[in-house]
Amino acid sequence: MDKLSIKADEVLLRRQRGNSKKGADIKFAVGYEGKIGRKERLKNYHLAAGVTDGTGIWEKAGCDFGKKWDPSKVKQVYMRKLPGGCNT
C-alpha cells in the first residue's frame, strides 16, 4: 500500500434531560487507502471512536490502524484534523 489517509473529528451529543450544556464528546478517526468512483467512497476504511481527549483518540487510532494495516508496508501517511475537531 502506498498511501494511508487519516482524518479526525468530534461530535458533541447533548443530554435530552437535565442540563443541556453537558453531554458526551465523541471523537473519531477514520483511516482509508483511497477513494473510489464519482461518489468518492472510501476504499478499505477503518473507524476508531471513543469518549476521550484529543491525544487519546490518536493513540487509539494508531493501535487500531496498526492492527489493520502493516506499518512497514505503508509508504506515506496523510493525517488531517477536521476544522474545530479533536483539540488536544
Using an 8 Å Cβ cutoff, are 39 and 20 in contact? Answer: no
Return the DSSP state at 83.
T
Model confidence pLDDT, tens digit, residues 12-57: 888 777 666 677 889 999 999 999 999 889 999 999 999 988 889 9
Model confidence pLDDT, tens digit, residues 6-18: 999 988 888 777 6
- Beta partners for residue 50, in sequence order: 27
Instruction: Give mean pLDDT, residues 62-67.
Output: 93
20 residue type, one letter: S
Residue bearing cell 476508531: 48
Phi and psi for 73 in degrees, rounded to 5?
-100, -5
Using an 8 Å Cβ cutoff, are 42 and 32 in contact? Answer: yes
33 residue type, one letter: E
Report the predicted TM-score, pTM, of the whole model to 2 decimal places.
0.78
